[in-house]
Structure 1
Amino acid sequence: MKAKLILFALVFVLTSCNKNEVYDEFNRDFTDNRWESKDVKSFEFENMQSEGVCELKLHFGHISGFQFKEVPLEVEITTPDGKTETLPVAMKLIDDSGKDLGDCSGDVCDVFQTIKTFEKLEKGKYKVAVKSKFTGPYLPNVLGVGILIERKK
């Protein structure tokens, strides 16, 4: 029992939050690993204090051996002052040699790509919507999509 408690404490310490992380959310709500073309993934967060330079990173989880080198996405960012910015994103998943660009463990890969740098992340509520711009009815082999906001080191 004592060994299990020590192991749990060690795992907790090793997986505790990143001090540079402002916000991190990952949506795994994909039936049969398919991202339907009409399905928009929305993330809302409140930044409690003004921050210096921060990066908005897109997190894309997929099955290893993904059939496309990149995925066309669109990210819409609404800032606390109500301004909306729409960014086209080509999420790069596989390099020219066919190697996964993500961190792969078994048949699961996670790719992070910086899509915007905020010179100053203002205090207030933000909304980020991520849309697949894939031309078919759904994008296959998707495990999840999310966003990560990190203070730049």
Structure 2
Amino acid sequence: MKVKLILFALVFVLTSCNKNEVYDEFNRDFTDNRWESKDVKSFEFENKQSEGVCELKLHFGHISGFQFKEVPLEVEITSPDGKVETLPVVMKLIDESGNDIGDCSGDICDVFQTIKTFDTLEKGKYKISIKSKFDGPYLPNALGVGILVERKK
């Protein structure tokens, strides 16, 4: 029985890894599910080797039945050479039929949206900052925000 359990655990670990993933982090630090307008979420990672084509995806978690179809954001990318690129992003959450776009489980939805494709992801340290541009003191029903960097298949 122990051997079967160990084999199952090993298979689960090996199949759950995304070999195309360069970096993945999700920040759930929102008090009362509110993303305060002055709260900038920052992510830093070091790319250990130069990669081919990679996609930078924004990950946004929210409560199902979100009251807005989209959320305005601003993403700032600082590359290893110090160059800063600022991208206005409109994160689409609800389709034209009024359905959640994301992967929803119960009352929690996760939406991934590609915001930049790197022809080559250079070796070095990157910093990515995400700011809500929602018109108000806070964005309600936000559960978290993160980034995912993947090698393009």
Shorter-chain TM-score tier: over 0.9
In 2, the alpha carbon distance for the partners of 1:15 and 1:150 equals 17
SS of the residue corresponding to residue 32 of structure 1 reads: helix
**2:128 aligned with 1:128:** yes
* 1:99-138 paired onto structure 2 within 5 Å: 99-138=99-138
In 1, the alpha carbon distance for the partners of 2:5 and 2:86 equals 47
In 2, the alpha carbon distance for the partners of 1:142 and 1:109 equals 10
RMSD: 1.8
User: TM-score of the superposition, structure 1-length normalised?
Assistant: 0.94
- Matched with 1:52 is 52
Distance of aligned partners of 1:122 and 1:65 in 2 relative to their CA distance in 1, 3 Å threshold:
same
**2:58 aligned with 1:63:** no
Distance of aligned partners of 1:140 and 1:3 in 2 relative to their CA distance in 1, 3 Å threshold:
farther
Deviates more, 1:110-119 or 1:2-11: 2-11
Which residues of structure 2 form unaligned runs of 5+?
none
Moved over 6 A (4+): none
- Matched with 2:147 is 147
SS of the residue corresponding to residue 9 of structure 2 reads: helix
SS of the residue corresponding to residue 19 of structure 1 reads: coil
* 1:12-51 paired onto structure 2 within 5 Å: 12-13=12-13, 16-51=16-51
In 1, the alpha carbon distance for the partners of 2:11 and 2:107 equals 23
| Shift in Å, 1:8 | 6.7
Distance of aligned partners of 1:11 and 1:104 in 2 relative to their CA distance in 1, 3 Å threshold:
farther
User: Alignment length, in residue pairs?
Assistant: 153
Which residues of structure 1 form unaligned runs of 5+?
none
Identity %: 89
| Shift in Å, 1:12 | 3.8
| Shift in Å, 1:2 | 4.0
User: TM-score of the superposition, structure 2-length normalised?
Assistant: 0.94
